Chain A
Amino acid sequence: MIRHTVGRLAATVLIAVALAFFTLPMLWLASAPFDAGPAITTSVPEFTLRNFAAILDNPYALGSIRNSLIQGGGAAALVVVLAALAAYALSRVRVPGRDVLLYLLLLLSSVVTGTAAMVPIFELATRLDLIDTHLGVILVVSGGLLPAAIFILKDFMDETPTSYEESARVFGASPLQILRHIVVPLVRPGLATIAVWALASVWGGFLFQFILLRDPDKAPGSVILYTLYTEGGAPRLDLISTFSLLYSLPVVAMYLFVSHRYGFRFHGGIKR
């Protein structure tokens, strides 16, 4: 009994500490945008909404959020569709060397998406005429996200029972129909999770967007955020904090929507 009480108490303390640890850095995002004279310190703001008016006056701010939506949404859609098709086929049909191939791609993706491949990626995009296009960003980031997406989705697909598919086949459904009407509903939490994950990665991504887009009219919010400095090079904290908040809202809203609607998890499906 004593052990149980001590355990309960330790758990409660741990929860409190974890809550504080994860909340603390975010406080600034909640206070600074509404502060008339924002500093680095988190403080109770001298309340104002003037910062929001100022950021709306910035010629690129709103457009950059639209660009982020195009690039992030495009990449998320592409990754979910292609990864679902590939994961399904890899999960259901035995291909020799399948696991090794998946691991190799996963390895490559974790390395290549870094700074290492910047020069080749830039040269490739130049030759394919993809510089300064949304499509260029979408294709490049999707290539990097796909291996992990296939890897995670295949786990979901492996755990769904195949008996439904067998009966659907008896009634003459085509593989694509089976995938759409039977498998997709079963793994919807997985697909939703991958979509959120892909969009969130592109939303905060900086490096590729920075080197592939020269035209500020095409730049996403993550790049525009780094232009909010004074001419002397000091950060404009009022604009940066306000824009950070505005820029965070869409991904947070999307996460809330998806987790409410489909659940948000990385593993599972129905047990075999």
Chain B
Amino acid sequence: MAPTTSPPGDAAGLGKARAAAFVLPALVLIGVFLVFPALWTIYLGLTDYRLTGLAAADPQVVGLDNYTDALTDPRFLTSLWLTVAYVGGSAVIGQAGLGFTLAWILRGRTGPVRRAVEGVVLLSWILPSTVVGFLWFALLDRDDGTLNALLHTPGLAWLLDHPLLSIIVFNVWRGTAFSMMLYSAALENVPPSHLETARLAGAGVPQQLRDVVLPLIRRHVLTNLLLISLWTFNDFTPFVLTGGGPEGRSEILPVYVYNIALKGGELGAGAAVSFLILLINLIFALAYLRLLRGRRKSLTGPPA
């Protein structure tokens, strides 16, 4: 396509054909190694496929049985509830709250304090997950854990007595970096003069946040909440700390899938639950898109 004929908004003169060629390699890779396994998982969810035994050799399509089984299984419902608490506590309140607070406090600061805080927060995020698992074992261990030594509470089994709290705090530690960085970037877009004006008009910090900051960074807040909710919802890492126990008290949905599909050998049932997880994630994303679109409309105003 000649550059002069490219439509407005196509600054580089890409044209549809070249744009497609740019997107294609990524799409092929995603198609083969992501979409295809996903479709396969959806199909498996409709069968009685098992890891071993007769159904392993010749799986039969059982329709929606796996879904009705899951939805009436109290263990699934408990797990769903735990997942909601885990996502709400560690992602929405913990990571986003702490991440924003840190970004807010550090905004405008420079020097060693800011570098130290950003350094340790990012380090906790950069360290390999497998290493992090061992670190938290060392911290929370019942007999020799560093935390018990510090708090003078020998023999307190954090992972057994407070499994959900433990994995929530763990995930806040692990994932706050992303929110902090995103909000730091977002706060740079807030003109200091706006905050100054609000302060002179007598607005306290909560009012400044609500009336000046939030409207300006709303898009970032929504993007952040969507991504961290999705990641936390599908996070398998708590498995290395508690394995879902004791007695399923920290069995969030990804761990539940692992336990029934690979430990229990019921691959079909596990795939069905995976699809339910996908549906729940879809609801998150739709709600987010809706909020974002509402914002755009209010910006452009009613059509003239």
Known: A26-B124, A117-B40, A252-B123. A40 touches B144 (CB 8 A): yes
- Which of A22, A32, A114, A265 interacts with B234 by CB under 8 Å? A114
Closest residue on chain B to residue A161 by CB atoms:
B11
Stretch among B29-37, B63-71, B72-80, B82-90 lining the A interface: B29-37
- Which of A99, A175, A205, A267 interacts with B182 by CB under 8 Å? A267
- Which of B10, B117, B139 interacts with A92 by CB under 8 Å? B10
Flag if B120 contacts A116 (CB, 8 Å): no
Closest residue on chain A to residue B9 by CB atoms:
A94
Contact size range, B: 35 or more
- Which of B7, B11, B120 interacts with A19 by CB under 8 Å? B120
Type the 1/0 row for B15-48, where 1 means its CB is closer than 8 Å to any CB of A: 1101110110111011011111110110010000
Closest residue on chain A to residue B101 by CB atoms:
A14
Known: A23-B120, A93-B16. A107 touches B36 (CB 8 A): no
Closest-CB distance, B37 to chain A (whole angstroms): 4
In the bound complex, CA of A267 to CA of B38 (Å): 30
In the bound complex, CA of A247 to CA of B274 (Å): 32
Closest residue on chain B to residue A29 by CB atoms:
B135
Closest residue on chain A to residue B292 by CB atoms:
A99
In the bound complex, CA of A207 to CA of B222 (Å): 30
In the bound complex, CA of A106 to CA of B26 (Å): 13
Flag if B124 contacts A25 (CB, 8 Å): yes
Known: A147-B34, A267-B185. A99 touches B233 (CB 8 A): no
Closest residue on chain A to residue B27 by CB atoms:
A86
Closest-CB distance, A210 to chain B (whole angstroms): 10
Type the 1/0 row for A39-53, where 1 means its CB is closer than 8 Å to any CB of B: 111100000000000
Q: Which of A74-100 contact B (CB under 8 A)?
A: 78, 82-83, 85-86, 88-90, 92-95, 99
Q: Which residues of B contact A267 (CB under 8 A)?
A: 182, 185-186, 220
- Which of B10, B29, B113, B149 interacts with A139 by CB under 8 Å? B29
Type the 1/0 row for A172-187, where 1 means its CB is closer than 8 Å to any CB of B: 0001001100010000
Q: Does A196 contact B (CB under 8 A)?
A: yes
Closest residue on chain A to residue B122 by CB atoms:
A255
Q: Which residues of A contact B101 (CB under 8 A)?
A: 14
Flag if A111 contacts B130 (CB, 8 Å): no
Q: Does B116 contact A (CB under 8 A)?
A: yes
Q: Show 8 A/B contacts (Cβ-Cβ < 8 Å), sorted by A.
A: A25-B138, A25-B173, A40-B144, A109-B30, A110-B234, A115-B258, A139-B32, A267-B185
Q: Which 7 pairs of residues, A with B, have the shortest CB-CB distance?
A: A143-B33, A116-B274, A204-B128, A162-B11, A204-B129, A89-B22, A120-B40
Given A19-B117, A143-B30, A175-B14, 11 more A-B residue pairs with CB atoms under 8 Å apart are A24-B139, A41-B141, A85-B25, A107-B281, A108-B278, A115-B258, A121-B33, A175-B13, A225-B131, A244-B135, A247-B128
